[in-house]
Amino acid sequence: MRHEPQRNTPRGNLLTDSPELYEARFPDPERIAGRWTEDVLRRYGAGPRVLDIGCGTGRDAAYLHGAGRTVVGADLSTAMLEYAREHHPGPEYRHADLRGFDLGTFDAVVCLDSALLYCHTNDELDGFLTSCRAGLAPGGLLVTELRNGAFFLGRTELLDTPTVDAFSRHGTVHRSTTTLSLDRAAQLLRRRRVWTADDGSPPVEQHSAWRLLFPQELRHFLTGHGFTVLGLYDRPGPRTEPPWREGDDAATTVDADRLHLVARLTG
């Protein structure tokens, strides 16, 4: 484990610096995220060239590659990319910042697990969407899965008490205590997470944040960048409860804590 102070960015993060721990903490043995993404791409007729921006360990990119697509996985974490190349081969893996990238031309851009919400400011979100528009072929798709800012309007159940999780890796039990709070002025969901392990190592405290985007706000940004929203709904998805299963239809609501977006470049 790393014990140096952690920065308030997606980088300098215990899990992204330790991809093996990430996959142990967030297992996906059924590859639900990859299967959900492939189902969306097929339903909306996406071509074969896919960019998975914020690809992490490469699990989802590799699943899409196995489904017959030509995939580039991109991430800001060098550790994640090295792990992806070794453990989830097939896609081409490249270093890139989702707030501004130029990686070629694609039929679809995929951005999962709230990675989009590391765009904390309007300028950063514009940078992401400008890059998507430049990198998509005419009629290309943008597919994202993220937290729903509207969920926190009048709701506090995710804010009232810390969340405690534990998992074991190579005989060591790792525990995390996560506290969420709202920064309303910055429109951020801030996360404080304290890691402990039973191997005698000192605790690690980390701070990060997600931009809280609301459904109508997201539609406005997309329209301004030439996208038409084809689907925007709360469930089911790879991280909903219950999770998405083959044949599930999308809801028409945007009330729960996740958002799933499908948009086509038309402008």
pLDDT score, position 160: 95
Give the relative orientation of helices 59-66 and 32-43 as an angle to the nearest 10 degrees: 50
Residue 5 has a pLDDT of 31
What's this model's pTM, rounded to 2 decimal places?
A: 0.93
Q: Which residues of 211-233 are buried (b: 16+ CB within 10 A; e: fewer)?
A: bbbbbeebbebbeebbbeebebb
- Separation of alpha carbons 135 and 213, rounded Å: 23
**For position 118, what pLDDT does the model report?**
96
Interatomic CA distance for residues 208 and 195, integer angstroms? 14
The pLDDT assigned to 8 comes to 31
Q: CA 112 to CA 52: how far, in whole Å?
A: 8
189 Cβ contact partners less than 8 Å away, ≥ 6 residues apart: 117, 147, 149, 152, 180, 181, 182, 183, 209, 210, 211, 212
Mean pLDDT by 10 residues, the chain (267 residues): 32 73 93 98 98 98 98 96 98 98 98 97 98 98 98 95 93 94 97 93 93 97 98 97 96 97 96
Residue 3: predicted pLDDT: 32
CB neighbours (10 Å) of residue 7?
12
